[in-house]
Structure 1
Amino acid sequence: MRFLPVTHNALLVELADLDQTLALLASLQRHPPHGVEELVPAARTILVEYRASATRAETLVQDIAARSLTQGAERSDTLIEIPVHYNGEDLAEVAQILGITADEVVQRHTGSEYTVAFTGFAPGFAYLSGGHPSLNVPRRSTPRTRLPAGSVGLAGTFSGVYPQASPGGWQIIGTTPVAMWDITRAQPALLQPGYRVRFVDIATKNIAASAYSESAGGQKEALLANSSDGNRRTSVNDDFDVRHLSSASLAFARRAQKDPKPSGRTQHHLAAGHTALQVRATGLLTVFQDLGRHGQARQGVSASGAMDQAALKAANRLVGNASNAAALETVGGGLQLRSVGDNVVAVTGADAVLTLTTADGQRWSVPRYEPVALADGDMLAVGQPTAGARCYVAVRGGFAEAPVMGSCATDTLAHVGPAPVAVGDWLAVQPAPATSVVAAPELPPADLPTLEQEVVLDVVMGPRTDWFTPEAIARLAAQRWQVTPQSNRVGLRLAGELPLDRAITGELPSEGTALGALQVPPSGQPVLFLADHPLTGGYPVIGCVAPYHLDRAGQIPVGAWLRFNPIQPFAELVPESGASTS
């Protein structure tokens, strides 16, 4: 094993192959080390995220290094059959690469059983290992900008199915009508780690059209029963392409602007006696956020949550809510809310002018970082920030918004969570508990990022710093980087005068990526992964922003200039002598 630093609350364990990775994962799941919060397995690595207050990297390294890799993961009895139309754009090319016919590719793909090794890239995307040993093909040299949901692809020795329309670089050999991801199911991801999977050729199998039923997502789901072997049978990396970084948030913004009632937030849904905030304008994008959707890596879902968690907690504290209550996160200016009934709100985060307009037309400015009483008919407007990028609006009692998978965080990349706020929405407010007490005003942060001053972020070097030339490592800190317009909640796309050159130019197998990771695509221009980043990625990460600067990173406006301050040199984490890595 190799132990590579990631950040102050994460490390990466690198192993020899997938079998060792799955064996270690099984061991860590059977006997979790104290303080570990999330495990993100990949082809040859496991990203271990932990509470820095509960354990130390050195302690985890000793524990993990002493574990035996001789006991593999147990296979599930669940067999999933996936019917496929083998009409993919790359089927002929795959056949040519392998030196066989297209029919033989199909026979080999359907003739072997796969196992769900791990998940990542997108919710419901499973990396399937096993299959015919000859099906080993490289990713496409140029990823496609959009693949339809249900695309069945090959990459390396893995097979997989794209759960939603997205960019992708796998070799597409077919499509399936089966929904890999359906939020209305009790278990949204159809394929779970350990499940067995078999592909079925629709063209050669007698699968009647009546075997399919329309699912909530508009796809068809096949349910084929198998009684012959007693097993439950249900029919039913790609790597994130940073060139399309802004597409997810733009899609959410368009939904908010075009659909006035995307989530049924109407006056008719307001419970008797409840107050509300009616949305008169949304600005660029306004979404619900809380502290995040943790512990869902098994389904391929990252935490998401507020970009500036300290600001979210402050807003809730000021109105007497629990710190993890959902609030509105709005980027830029333009949000306008009308109070229906009497409410108490607080606005934190970016430095923006707040204007209160009464029902009879009186207008004045109200302060940030203190409770503000709104009478029935009062309008609160958030102006364009002069420092920072995102404001948070909390209301006393909390919003009556239904959580999705245990959280009200809206993940703009994964399309998980409440719909974005739209003009005309009635945002219902829950009655405040009798013990709820509003807090005294607080001082706003004095050092929010601006366009006029360079923003400095501390960086922990690793886990793939050694994939870059010494000149590139020095350049990361010496050169300043500008935040481009292709930036959003997924990450900040940066541009510098000179790119970061790699010393190792080979393909990196997909591996877990942490919040704050500085991933470097082939362009050499880094991307700083933020709240809605994908769980896994296939480009090397040169460093990771320190956890205490993540809130600051979430407030950086487009056009600002950054500098990175490495706080320690890159060095592998080495277990003390005596620890076994067998």
Structure 2
Amino acid sequence: MSITGLRWAGPRAVLVELTDLASVLALHHRLEAEPLPGQLDAIAGAATVLVKFASRFHTGAARELLPNLDLTARHHGTGNEVTIEVVYDGEDLAEVGRLTGLGADGVIAAHTGQAWTGAFGGFAPGFTYLMGENDSLNVPRRSSPRTAVPAGSVALGGAFSAVYPRQSPGGWQLLGHTSAVMWDLGRESPALVRPGDTVRYVAVREAVAAPSAKEAKPAAPENTESCSGLTVQAPGLQSLVQDLGRPGFGDLGVSVSGAADQRSVRQANRLAGNEPDAAVLENLLGGLTVQANGDQVLAVAGAPAVLEIRDESRTLLRHPAMHTPFALLDGETLTIGPPSAGVRSYLAVRGGFDVPPVLGSRSSDSMSGIGPAPLAAGTFLPVAPVTGVWPVGIPEDGMLEDGSSTTTLRVTLGPRDDWFDAEAIGLFTGQQWLVTEQSNRIGVRLAPPEEGRALARARDGEMPSEGTVAGALQMPPNGHPVLFLADHPVTGGYPVIAVVVPEDLPLAAQLPPGHHVEFTIVDPRTLDPVDREVVDQAAARQETPRESAVGATAFEGSQP
């Protein structure tokens, strides 16, 4: 029982490989009890633990400390027994029967005829990976993940079974559905199944409706006329309350979430005179109109757009500038027009939006449904009072430029670049990729250009589920990369060929459909460009610029 390797997962995370699940649980328990310097989160997987840090300098210390940790201490606890009723009507039931040779009835018998143990959390709140007593239902994931799996879907992925707690993307094989509420913030323990619990699936003809989960929503004041705030008149395509997110809950399957472009959030808050983590509005592709209750100081950053202020009779009064503080007086309305570059604009108000926090954050998580609901016409957003003396920021330049059709993003290879040969890695960085219309806050879906090619894996089989980071470029079997953004799954089962460096994630969050992206490889320790010839030579030898606890790295100076 020991650590067998360390791999880069971007400049600010280390993927620790271990010999077995018992070692995973032991390391995870150790890191929870005694966090490493700069540690933000530790996420257990089937055979790994992903450790996230505040900076790339902390990963250097982790390289020295992790291999020497004592993993003999174990966490002992008695789990609960949970019964989940299932209607076996899943779209993939017949396919699973064919893959296993059991047939549909045999799959149902095998699924209900064994006890399943909660191994680790991840992917989404309430999604717990369950390990069976035998290997009879070990089936590969789908070659291309579904963009929307219904809530309550009971599924298989590799050696694991699980229930999707809410509608979300996913590549597991669907056996049926249940009405059990897997995640409810109104319960003392929000997750119905936690690691260590024992689960029994029971086949039923019709699922009994269960009480719906309690959603955390902003409380609307009884009399908004006397409250300071903004009233949404039109939300546009999508407008959400966001802040800098809720780190530290990855083990519960709760993503960090927060604003997709955090650099623009910080800029808008500086201009409005707020702390960096004050809640703002994230608007997608314009169309947001808000009316002031009381005099307000606002600032808009991010994707550049035309701003209009009108009075209560809809008469145009003025065009305030982007990236500068301005007044919105009582009764006046502000409209954010369509952006001329990028896709997301951020509206900050002096004091910040005073909506109730959930798990320490006011951000809206589209993957889990945690936090405020998407804004709708009529939504009132109270503004927190300003106490003390806080300076309003001076005008700043915008961070996006008009006119460019291609964006270059820096990446560090790994943690699973060894699933691809030299030709695939060369193709990954050697051709441009097209942003598709299926992109959202969970991830940017990329496709090869018209004359380009998809990436082919050098390995067959399934990869055990493991933690992922924002910026990860996950590669499904169809060879079309998915670039994870703020609401990405906490864990995933497709190999990650590279990770976009955190400093470039604001650019990734602003990529519009039809835009082209190209990738350039940098050293994870220094962020300096890595010579292409060295990359090709290392890939040809099946070596990669990642850290290993048991061998030398391929590139000099690439250790964290």
TM-score by length of 2: 0.85
Give the counterpart of 1:3 among 6, 25, 38.
Answer: 6
Shift of the alpha carbon at 1:498? Answer: 2.2
**Partner residue, 1:461:** 413
**Partner residue, 2:201:** 199
User: Does the residue aligned with 1:387 lie in a helix, a strand or coil?
Assistant: coil
* Ranges in structure 2 where 5+ consecutive residues have no aligned partner: 524-534, 536-543, 552-560
Kindly indicate whether residue 395 of structure 2 is the aligned counterpart of residue 393 of structure 1: no
Give the counterpart of 2:163 among 161, 164, 167.
Answer: 161
Give the counterpart of 1:43 among 35, 43, 46.
Answer: 46
Kindly indicate whether residue 283 of structure 2 is the aligned counterpart of residue 287 of structure 1: no
The code of the aligned residue for 1:7 comes to G
| Alpha-carbon displacement from aligned partner over 1:421-475 (angstroms, at most 9, x marks no partner) | 1122222223222x14341323123x51545342221111111112112122122
Whether the 8 Å CA contact 2:424–2:457 is kept in 1: the answer is yes
**Mapping for residues 179-578 of structure 1, pairs under 5 Å:** 179-201=181-203, 214-217=210-213, 269-270=222-223, 273-359=226-312, 361-433=315-387, 435-445=388-398, 447-496=399-448, 497-568=452-523, 570-575=544-549
Distance 1:156 1:523 in 2: 18
Distance 2:427 2:409 in 1: 15
The code of the aligned residue for 1:44 comes to A
Q: Which moved more, 1:57-66 or 1:459-468?
A: 57-66
The code of the aligned residue for 1:478 comes to G
User: Does the residue aligned with 2:412 lie in a helix, a strand or coil?
Assistant: strand
Distance 2:312 2:72 in 1: 72
User: Does the residue aligned with 2:267 lie in a helix, a strand or coil?
Assistant: helix
Distance 2:286 2:91 in 1: 44
User: Does the residue aligned with 1:441 lie in a helix, a strand or coil?
Assistant: coil
The code of the aligned residue for 1:366 comes to P
| Alpha-carbon displacement from aligned partner over 1:278-336 (angstroms, at most 9, x marks no partner) | 22222221111000021111221111111121211222222222221111010112111
Between the two proteins, the alignment pairs up a number of residues equal to 525
Shift of the alpha carbon at 1:50? Answer: 0.9
User: Does the residue aligned with 1:314 lie in a helix, a strand or coil?
Assistant: helix
User: Does the residue aligned with 2:366 lie in a helix, a strand or coil?
Assistant: coil
**Partner residue, 1:131:** 133
Cα gap change, 1:377/1:472 in structure 2, threshold over 3 Å: closer, same or farther?
same
Distance 1:567 1:264 in 2: 43
Cα gap change, 1:135/1:518 in structure 2, threshold over 3 Å: closer, same or farther?
closer
**Partner residue, 2:58:** 56
Q: Which moved more, 1:390-399 or 1:311-320?
A: 311-320
Distance 1:287 1:142 in 2: 29
Cα gap change, 1:174/1:442 in structure 2, threshold over 3 Å: closer, same or farther?
same
Shift of the alpha carbon at 1:366? Answer: 0.8
- Equivalent pairs: percent with the same residue? 44
Whether the 8 Å CA contact 2:168–2:367 is kept in 1: the answer is no
Whether the 8 Å CA contact 1:2–1:572 is kept in 2: the answer is no
**Partner residue, 1:78:** 80
**Partner residue, 1:233:** none
Q: Which moved more, 1:165-174 or 1:277-286?
A: 165-174
Distance 2:401 2:460 in 1: 35
The code of the aligned residue for 2:340 comes to T
Whether the 8 Å CA contact 2:465–2:491 is kept in 1: the answer is yes
The Cα RMSD (Å) is 3.0
**Partner residue, 1:117:** 119
Cα gap change, 1:559/1:90 in structure 2, threshold over 3 Å: closer, same or farther?
closer
The code of the aligned residue for 1:215 comes to P
* Ranges in structure 1 where 5+ consecutive residues have no aligned partner: 220-261, 578-582
User: Does the residue aligned with 1:472 lie in a helix, a strand or coil?
Assistant: helix
Distance 2:58 2:403 in 1: 37
Shift of the alpha carbon at 1:515? Answer: 0.5
**Partner residue, 2:530:** none
Distance 1:334 1:142 in 2: 33
Shift of the alpha carbon at 1:539? Answer: 1.7
Distance 1:452 1:85 in 2: 51
The code of the aligned residue for 1:385 comes to P
The code of the aligned residue for 1:156 comes to G
**Mapping for residues 165-176 of structure 1, pairs under 5 Å:** 165-176=167-178
**Partner residue, 1:20:** 23
Distance 2:325 2:140 in 1: 57
Shift of the alpha carbon at 1:125? Answer: 0.9
Cα gap change, 1:77/1:331 in structure 2, threshold over 3 Å: closer, same or farther?
closer
| Alpha-carbon displacement from aligned partner over 1:92-126 (angstroms, at most 9, x marks no partner) | 66566556687765565445433211122222111
Q: Which moved more, 1:419-428 or 1:83-92?
A: 83-92
